[in-house]
Chains A and B, each alone.
Chain A
Amino acid sequence: MLLAYQFAMENPALIRAEGIEAMEFSELSARHQISGVPDTVINDGAARVVGAVPESYLLNEVQQMLQGVK
């Protein structure tokens, strides 16, 4: 989760990083079919990263997702 926060800090006008307690917000978790944590949902499900990952991995996922949008 800290990694997502680090990402947001670099461009807070466009990036938002939100930690979500999955049990407390169970409807949201169910909507994104969360089964294990941490689970990072990117742009409401356009991509996702399960587990704790290094910086380069998350960056790569974000890059691939945004390329797909173009």
Chain B
Amino acid sequence: MEKLLNDDILAQIRDVFQKMQHPVELVLFVKQERCEYCAETRQLLEELSPLSDLLSLKVYDLQADADLAGKFGVSDAPAILVMAREGETLTDLGVRYMGIPSGHEFSTLIQAIMLVSARDSGLSPETRAYLKGLSSPLALQVFVTPT
């Protein structure tokens, strides 16, 4: 299959990934039926994940791996979870993307990987204190379009 990422892009991403600090695992859920972009999303992540030793990829099927999907609260595909990895242990930091990350959203995915790799939100002390003190769930759904 033709590559989605050309050599220039690969070199740029490798450069960015030099600054990764801790391991990150991309967990991708795909489904067999009615998924226009699952195959392409998978290919994209398969081209991306070898670009750093600190980045790994696991691909699961929404139906076949329904237990895992349920555990992570994933109900549709393609779904990309950007998780912190320490050895074999994964920590869900609540960072996910639904759909194919193309165009501007591809950059956002790279930034999300770097964010999780740093294990630091970079937010102000006030914001951190408020969020850590929450007593009820907070769901942020950010709708975007590829441009």
Q: B-contacting residues of A (Cβ < 8 Å)? A: 1-2, 4-12, 14-25, 29, 32, 34, 37-44, 55-56, 59, 62-63, 66, 69
B123: A residues at CB distance < 8 A: 6-7, 10, 55
Instruction: Give the distance in Å from the alpha carbon of A15 to the alpha carbon of B120 in the complex.
Output: 15
Instruction: Tell me whether A1 and B108 are in contact (CB under 8 A).
Output: yes
Interchain CB contact under 8 A, B145 and A15? no
* Minimal beta-carbon separation of A20 from chain B (angstroms): 5
Dominant SS among interface residues on chain B:
mixed
**Residues on B with beta carbons closer than 8 Å to the beta carbon of A34:** 143
Q: Is the beta-carbon distance between A20 and B142 smaller than 8 angstroms?
A: yes
Chain B residues engaging chain A, CB cutoff 8 angstroms: 36-37, 73, 76, 82, 91-101, 105, 108, 111-112, 115-116, 119-124, 126-128, 130-132, 134, 136-146
What are 7 A-B interface contacts by the 8 Å CB criterion? A1-B144, A10-B127, A15-B94, A15-B137, A17-B94, A18-B97, A22-B145
A6 and B127 CA atoms in complex are apart in Å by: 10
13 additional A-B residue pairs with CB within 8 Å, beyond A4-B142, A18-B96? A1-B144, A5-B94, A7-B138, A12-B91, A19-B98, A19-B144, A20-B97, A20-B99, A38-B144, A40-B141, A41-B140, A55-B124, A66-B138
* B98 surroundings in chain A (CB, below 8 A): 18-21, 24-25
